[in-house]
Amino acid sequence: MAASWDPEVLRESQRVAAKEARKDGIHWTFFPNADIARDTRWGRVTETMGEDPYLASRLVEAQIEGFHGRSSLKSQDSLMTCVKHFAGYGACMGGRDYDQVTLSEAELRNVYFPTFEAGLKAGAETVMTAYMDLNNVPATVNQFLLNRVLREEWNFDGFVVTDAGTIANLVTQGLAKDGEDAALRAMNAQVDMDMGSFQYVQFLAKLVGEGKIRESQIDEAVRRILKIKFELGLFEHPYADMDTEEDEAEHRKKALWSAQQSIVLLKNKNDVLPLSKDIKKIAVIGPAADARDDTEGILGMSNIPQAVTVLEGIRAKLPDAEVIYRPGAWLKRDIPNMVSEFVPDFCGKKEKERQTKEEADLAVSEAVEAAKGADTVVMVLGEAVNMSGEAGSRAALDLPGRQQELLEKIWATGKQIVLVVLGGRPLSLTWADEHADAIIEAFQPGWEGGNAVADILFGDVNPSAKLPITVPRSAGQCPKFYAENLTHQPVETQPKPYSRYWNEDGSPLYPFGYGLSYTTFEYRNLVLEKEKIRLGEAAVVRVDVCNTGSRTGAEIAQLYIHQRYGSDTRPKRLLKGFSKFELAPGETKTVEFKLTADDLRYYSCSKGDYVQDETTIDVWVGGDVNAKLHTVLSVGNEGEE
C-alpha cells in the first residue's frame, strides 16, 4: 500500500481493519510498522512503508488515523495502535532478521526516528521494542532509545511493550547474567509490559523485595497500562459487540480499491498494455497465478486464504475467451519461518510439497506448449508467501526455484510476455526487464488482488502507483537506496556502463518513486516564490504538470532537495514533498509545495544537535527520484523582503 503514495489508501484500509478486528474482540494492533527498510534482503520489508522517512511518516500517520477513527478509543470500531520496532531494526546486518545494527546517532535521528515521532504525534498509544542489538546494547533495554529519546525528549507517556521474548533473550544476546538481571534492566529502561518471556512474572516481586526495584516503578508501569484500558472502555464494555453490522461487500470494495492503487507498472514496451478484451486464447503461466496464499500475503495470516487469484481475475475479465493455466514450475513452500510454525496450514497446501525432477520437467514442457498455442501469455511469478516476513530474509533476490528457467523458455517461443510479479519484497528482475514486454509489480495484493491485477492488465484501471523502495539489480548492491551521500569520484562522473562494481552497473534496476501510467505527464515551469529566504523561513515551490497522453490518469509529483554545503555532508537527494492528483488528457495543474524550516533542518553529527545551515539548496520536481526539472534556492540571514 505504500506504493500508492496515498495516505487515504492507508487510512481507509486500516479503518476497515479496525472495524473487523474490534468485532472479533481485538482491541490492540501491533501496527503500524514504522521501520525504514533499505535492504530488500530483509524479510520484514513487506511490513514497512519503504525506505524514505518523509513518505513513511505520512503513511504511518494515516494508518494510525484509520485505526483510531474519528471517535474515542471507546468506540467499538477503534483500535489501540503500536509503532514498532523501536528503532533501527531495518538496518540489520546483511539484511538478516534479528542480527546486530550499528548506526550513528545522526543516521538514527535523520532516517530511523522520524517515522516513530510522527506516529506518536498522530496518537499512537504504545511502542514496541526491537529484537536486535543496537550499537552493542539490545534495543529492549537501550537507555538512549527508551529513556533519553522516547521518555525525555518526546515526552511519551504511553506504555512500552517488548517484542516477543526479548527480555529473556537479553541472556541469549550476552548482556544479562540471568533472567533476574534481564528483568531488572528492562524495568530500569521503563519497559512496561513483558510480551511472552515471563521474566517480569518470575522476578519483579523478588526484585522489589530486595530493594533493587522501587515499588513506584511497578506502579508507574501499571498506571500506564491501566490508563489505556480505561480509555478503551474495557472495564465498562469488556466483550466484543457481536451485533455490530459489518458490510463485507463494502470491505471487499475497499480491498479492491486499495490493491488497484498499489500495483506498479514497471515496463510497457510499445504500449503492450492494456491488453484487449477481445483476446480469444490466453495462457496464464506460473506457480503464483492460482495461489491464494501467495496473493493474500504474509499479513493475511488466514488458515483458509480468501484471496482472488490472478487466474481467477483474468477468467472473470474474459468470460468468452479460452484461458489456459499451467503452473510450469513449483515454488518451494516448506521454508520454515515464524508464520509457518504458528499456523501449519498457512500456505494452503493441498498437494505434496516437492516435485521430482521428472515432474518438474514435464510441468515446464506443458507450460511451453500452452504458450505456443496462445495469442498472449501472462506469466505470474515471484515468491511464496513464507519467503518473506519475520525470519524470512533471503541471500538472493532472484526468482526462486525454476521460475527463471521457465521465463526464459517461454520467451524463446517468441510470444508476447506480460509478467506479473508477486511477493513480499522487490526482486531483481534484470533479465526480465531486458526481455519481457511488460512487467507489473503487484507485491502481495490481498483479498481482491487477482481482480485488481486484471483491472490493470485490461485497462479498467490506469496504474498510478510508484515504488516506495529502490529495486536493486542484484543482492550484491544491497543495501541500495536513493538517499546516498556524494562521494569521492562520484558515480555519475565515472565511466559507464559500470561504476563501483566491475561486473555490474551501479545504478538501481528501478529507482525510488518510479512507476508508469497508460498516459504520459510533462513537468514545466518550476518556479520559487522567492529565490532567497532567511533561516527559519518557508519556501514555496510551484510546478505545472500536464497530461500529454490520451487517457485520464493520476500522477504523483515528487519534490527533492540537495544541500550543497553546510555543517555535514547531506544526501544527494531527499524527498520533501509529494502530491497525487488526476488529470484528463490535455489538462494542466499547477502543483504547490511548501518547504518549511523543518524540511531544511537535520541532525548534525559535527554539531551534536539539529541545525539549519546557511547554504544553497538544489530543488527538483518530477515523477521519480531522477527528476530533471531543477531550480536553486538560497538560504541565509539575508533574504528578500
- Looking at 6, 35, 39, 163, which residue is catalytic? 163
Tell me the three cell numbers of residue 538: 518557508
Residue 471 Cα distances to 39, 512, 543, 627, angstroms? 10, 8, 28, 17
Structure letter (DSSP) for residue 101: B
DSSP 337-373: -HHHHH-TTTT---S-S---HHHHHHHHHHHHHHHHT
Judge whether 163 counts as a catalytic residue. yes
Query: Which cell numbers hold the place of 559?
Result: 519534490
Closest by CA to 618, choosing from 522, 536, 526, 513, is 526
* CB burial readout 87-117, b (16+ within 10 A) else e: bbbbbbeebbbbebbeeeebbbbbbbbbbbb
What is the C-alpha separation between 601 and 599, in angstroms, rounded?
6
Going by C-alpha positions, the residue among 382, 394, 370, 359 that lies closest to residue 445 is 382
Q: How far is CA 238 from CA 30, 126, 193, 232, in A?
A: 20, 20, 20, 9
Contact at 8 Å (CB) between 90 and 113? no
Query: At residue 592, what is the residue type?
Result: E
Residue 201 CB coordination number (10 Å): 10
Burial class of residue 457, CB neighbours in 10 A (0-12, 13-18, 19+): buried
User: What is the C-alpha to C-alpha distance for residues 252 and 258, in angstroms, rounded to an integer?
Assistant: 10
Are 367 and 406 a contacting pair, CB within 8 Å? Answer: yes
The closest of 242, 174, 162 to 199, measured between CA atoms, is 162
Q: What is the DSSP string of 117-169?
A: HHHHHTT--EEEE-SSEETTEEGGG-HIIIIIIIIIIS---SEEEPPTTTTTH
| Cβ partners under 8 Å of residue 2, min gap 6 | 10, 48, 49, 50, 55, 56, 59, 262, 468, 469
The residues annotated as belonging to the active site are 163
